[in-house]
Structure 1
């Protein structure tokens, strides 16, 4: 378990997106494959980091990200 995360390329990086879970729109800043395990068993998830209208970034599942219309 050397690395806890790594960046993943995504076609919507630096574009305006909408998080379908919350309805919030913002700019997709990064997609990271992150190790969220708390034990010796690794569990990896792909998280999208979105900068919302307030300027703060939030995370959501990559599957929740769609292009903003």
Structure 2
């Protein structure tokens, strides 16, 4: 059972903290962790977890796997 709020955001202890995406090296504030349905390589739907980071430099939020995040101290 999901504990998501009205917008589909899951509770996460790192929400609002400064994080680094280890895949890209980008840093910013963690804004949300959500489950989204995306097509797999066969076009069938599958559910994935995505974390959204608001970059310090501005612009669009970056999405990445929540497992790619580390808290910046």
TM-score category by the smaller chain? 0.7 to 0.9
Q: Distance in 1 between matches of 2:53 and 2:67?
A: 13
Gaps spanning 5+ residues in structure 2: where?
1-6
- Extract unaligned runs of 5+ from structure 1: none
Number of aligned residue pairs: give it: 65
Alpha-carbon RMSD across the aligned residues, in angstroms, is 2.1
Matches within 5 A, 1:1-69: 6-37=8-39, 41-56=44-59, 57-69=61-73
The TM-score with structure 2 as length reference comes to 0.77
Would you identify which runs of 4 or more consecutive aligned residues in structure 1 move more than 3 Å? 38-42
TM-score of the two chains, using structure 1 as the length reference: 0.81
